[in-house]
A and B are shown apart, each in its own frame.
Chain A
Amino acid sequence: MTELNQVTAAVIRTLESAGLAAVAAYDGPAKRYPGAVAAVDVAEAVEKPAAFDRYLGQVWDPVTGAVEERYGRTLEVALSLEVRAPTAAECLAGCERAADALLSGGLPAGLRLGQQSWEAVSWDKTNQMFLRKGRALGRAFFTATAEEDSGLMLHFILKGVVTT
């Protein structure tokens, strides 16, 4: 999963945990939802310099006892959030739920969204639903570990996301 997809997935998980249906934007045919639903997309991403050419240093793995090289990557991201609902009241309530969820610490540690802006509610004729567009700005932090033997860098993982 790419870094941007990890950000989208983390936001979707957070919104769903807050009780708001959420989907990745432009993903397959539009479906029918009984209430509010948010479409999430990374609209902009700019890489910021991190450490020394992404190198953070060495870490000791207490499980394997090995010393690993750790790398980091920071992206400034602008998220596009489009909340739709059959009624304007449900649309507004969905936006409030999304805004609260993204500001109240439900996101992984590596994703900090500090600024949000929302447009007025409008009518989405194509989907026949009320629509409110929002934008959230913040930073996403990723880390990667180089394999000890080969030195091959593994994928960057959004900090604070549990992987299996």
Chain B
Amino acid sequence: MTERFANVLALYGREITVRHGDGAVTARAFLQPVTSMADAAPYAVTSLGAVDDRRWRCITRTALADGDIVECGGARYRVESCAAVYAGRELSHWWGVLTREREAAE
């Protein structure tokens, strides 16, 4: 089952680069916007400034960790939360929720 899923990812997934610390790994992933009621107002106002409140769901076979940077199609995302998903004893894939990476303060 996990092999089939890997084949589907390889065939239909988008190319992503996962950056963890100084390392970078290229992989395939399904990257989709999370559709919810929040999409009606994708920006939140906080005292720190306006925040892009949208989320993306990332499904990949490459390990993810909170805070990793995922690059895809010229956009940069940050892993907000993630978890490994198992099929029986075997790792099926990694599931992550991403937000747009913010511009660094000067």
The residues of A with any CB-CB pair to B shorter than 8 Å are: 21, 23, 25-33, 37, 39, 41, 80, 82, 84, 124, 126-128
Contacts and interface: CB of A to CB of B under 8 A. Distances in A.
B105 A31 contact: yes
Interface in B35-77: 44-53
B103 A127 contact: no
B53 A126 contact: yes
Contacts, number: 56
Given A29-B102, A32-B101, A124 B80 contact: no
17 contacts: A21-B105, A27-B49, A28-B49, A29-B51, A29-B102, A29-B103, A30-B49, A37-B48, A37-B105, A39-B46, A39-B49, A82-B48, A84-B48, A126-B53, A127-B48, A128-B80, A128-B99
Which 3 pairs show the lowest CB-CB distances between chains A and B? A30-B49, A39-B47, A25-B47
A128 B51 CA distance: 11
Interface of B: 44-53, 80, 99, 101-105
Contacts of A30: 46, 48-51, 102
A32 B49 contact: no
Given A27-B49, A37-B48, A41-B47, 18 more contacts: A23-B48, A25-B47, A25-B48, A26-B45, A28-B49, A29-B52, A30-B48, A31-B48, A31-B104, A32-B101, A32-B105, A39-B47, A39-B48, A39-B49, A124-B46, A126-B46, A128-B80, A128-B99
A33 to B, nearest CB: 5
